[in-house]
Structure 1
Amino acid sequence: MTIITRFAPAVPGLFIVAALLAAGPARSEEPAPKLGPDAVPLTVDHAYLAKNAAPDYWAFSAFVKPQFTTSACSIAAVTGALNGLRGLPAHSEDTVTTQQQMLELVADPDWKTLSAEGGDGVKFDQLVAFTGEAIKATAMEGYRTEVLKPAADDAATLDEVRALLKANEASEDDALLLYFNQGVVTGDWDGPHVSVIGAYDAEADRVLILEVDQEWYIPYWTPTPVLLKAMLKPTGEEHGVLKGETGGLVHIVK
């Protein structure tokens, strides 16, 4: 079917001006990319996993689930890490521990409140403490936490971070939790977040982050220097009680 449209007599230059006006807002309102230049999704680059053993990725990726509220990144990360360390339960009647079940096992009312929808989320020291409580509650005898909390963006600190990442990558017998400013890596939301380290590619000096914020992201790679900057950036005042909080790495190790 042909549709014939009537036009009013043209005013010289009117169509050009109208076209420019229409095009201007469209360009300025173009949506931002899902990830910024410092984050590469695993679906785009998985060469490291194809060429290396990557024990942490295979141990933890299946157990890292979406955070069950917008404030539950810490319980999601801890649950995923501890489930990965314990592995798939041996018996048919045994369940894989959920985030809600982990909160019940730990029975810390503060963690439950902070992780509820609208909760404040956790500070770094609270993440360390809650992780220790979860290790105890799940009877993971022999496990403990060690902490690397960077204080400077310098070569010595970066070497410390790399050394820990390399040690963690050697086997699936330990796990690394990451407390960081998510926006430094993704180029979007500017705030504190917790996830699990999934792999370290020492040759390329980059880290795979197993995201629990799965409403928005999938696992992505980021350069180690960017990771350090993300751990060092203080939380802004818009995050209330978390203002000024900086991040670090929580090593769950025997």
Structure 2
Amino acid sequence: MNLLRHLVRPYLYTRYGFHRLTASGSFRKGGVKYVDPSISPWWNPLKQAIWKHHVKQFHGSSCSVASVVACINALRSLGANGIRPITQAEILDQVPTGHWKQRMSSGGYHGRRGLPLPLLGQVIKDSIAIYGLTAGHVDIVPTPKNTPHQSPLRTLLKKRLIDFDRHGRGLLIAHFDQGSLIPTLNIPHISPVGAYDAKTDRVTMLDVDPDETRPYQVGFETFFNGLSTDYHHMFKMHGYGSGGYVYVALR
């Protein structure tokens, strides 16, 4: 972790400063639009549930915990009314997959913190099983860099966004380069999708970062680029190659 801090951080801040000075990247005009967090997607029970149970991460590497607990609480709330939401501390105690709780500690698990995409998907699968929830399937979808515009990956993602937004057929948890979407460092991050507007082709993110006090919208291409960014090669030492998403389909 010391090597990561001393070698990667200067690069990340240099890249951040360049984009800020040149108004490029996520600093470009019209790139991100913040939305009113009080808006309630009442027409869709699943959307309403994920907005209601959205929480913020409790430290810099715990975005997976906040994202997964929001997903699990949203699914639980669809099955019965009046169920007390589980907390981030409780889910870490109940789900041992990948030494998840140890990864959230200050030293990490053998120096590794956070969850790479494949492990995030397995944690979600095991969380659904441990809490006795019903789901059709959990799909872990890597999105390689330079994916062609006509790729089936893009088509499937857009279909799933529409199915979530219009019909509540499944949840999407994004594993993405946060600095590709909003003006911040280009680091791996995890958050659930909150909505998709097919008319404007914009994706709403329920970012679990405490610095992001409101949900925000970005264009589909910006969203996909954030998913398909190759993380800095130094992150590969800790299991982070590139991003993608986890799709939890409902029956």
The answer to whether the superposition gives a TM-score over 0.5 is: yes
Q: Which runs of 5 or more residues in structure 2 are unaligned?
A: 1-16
- Say which of 20, 23, 36 aligns to 2:27: 36
CA gap 1:130/1:74 in 2 versus in 1, 3 angstroms? same
Quote the offset at 1:244 in angstroms. 5.3
1:111 correspondence with 2:124 = no
Mapped to 1, the partners of 2:94 and 2:239 lie a distance apart of 29
- Say which of 41, 50, 58 aligns to 1:68: 58
Larger radius of gyration: 1
Quote the offset at 1:80 in angstroms. 0.2
Asked whether the 8 Å contact 1:185–1:230 carries over to 2, the reply is: yes
Asked whether the 8 Å contact 1:74–1:115 carries over to 2, the reply is: no
Q: Match of 2:149?
A: 155
CA gap 1:56/1:134 in 2 versus in 1, 3 angstroms? same
Mapped to 1, the partners of 2:106 and 2:236 lie a distance apart of 16
Mapped to 1, the partners of 2:88 and 2:178 lie a distance apart of 21
Percent of aligned pairs with the same amino acid? 22
Q: 1:195 is aligned with what amino acid?
A: S
Asked whether the 8 Å contact 1:65–1:80 carries over to 2, the reply is: yes
1:194 partner SS = strand
Alpha-carbon RMSD across the aligned residues, in angstroms, is 2.9
Asked whether the 8 Å contact 1:234–1:243 carries over to 2, the reply is: no
TM-score between the two structures when normalised by the length of structure 2: 0.76
Runs of 4 or more, structure 1, over 3 Å off, are: 52-57, 88-91, 237-240
Q: Match of 2:4?
A: none
TM-score between the two structures when normalised by the length of structure 1: 0.76
1:220 correspondence with 2:216 = yes
Q: Match of 2:116?
A: 123
Asked whether the 8 Å contact 1:42–1:219 carries over to 2, the reply is: yes
Q: Using the TM superposition, name which of 151-160 and 66-75 deviates more.
A: 151-160
CA gap 1:126/1:243 in 2 versus in 1, 3 angstroms? closer
1:53 correspondence with 2:47 = no
Count how many residue pairs are aligned between Structure 1 and Structure 2: 219
Write out per-residue CA displacement over residues 65-100 of structure 1, whole angstroms, 9 at most, x where no aligned residue: 011221111111011011112218634xx5310111
Q: 1:90 is aligned with what amino acid?
A: N
Quote the offset at 1:143 in angstroms. 4.2
- Say which of 226, 239, 246 aligns to 1:250: 246
